[in-house]
Amino acid sequence: MTVLPQTFSALGNATRFAIVERLLSEGELPAGAFLDMNDTSPPAMSRHFKVLREAGIVEQRIDKQRRIYSVRPQAVQQICEWSISYRKFWETSLDRLALALAEDD
């Protein structure tokens, strides 16, 4: 069906997740902007970007000697749509839960 497992797998690493969150908040940034992060030697960072690229989560734009990365909106949209497609399930489940808790008073 979908490629969501690959998307989730790529986001299932704390460093990559932080990269994506930062790109989402700040917009496109060159790879080098992330070298201050926790783990990160340049090759490690480069590989994280490769994983994100191959999962279709980010895209690369080349500007001179810089690689500028940004989040592909479709990637986040796909995640949103997946979770929304089960909304009826989780919303009613949570409603029932809240109700049950309220009855304990």
Q: Which residues bind a copy of itself (CB under 8 A)?
A: 4-14, 17, 24, 71, 73-74, 76-77, 79-80, 82-84, 86-87, 89-91, 93-94, 97
Question: What number of helices (H) and strands (E) belong to the chain?
Answer: 5, 3
48 in contact with DNA (CB under 7 A): yes
One-letter amino acid at 51 equals V
Least distance (Å) between residue 61 CB and a copy of itself: 14
Side-chain-side CA neighbours of residue 84 (13 Å): 6
Structure tokens at 105: 């008073």
54 in contact with DNA (CB under 7 A): no
Of positions 3, 24, 47, 61, contacts DNA by CB under 7 A: 47
Least distance (Å) between residue 38 CB and a copy of itself: 13
| Residue recorded with tokens 């490629």 | 3
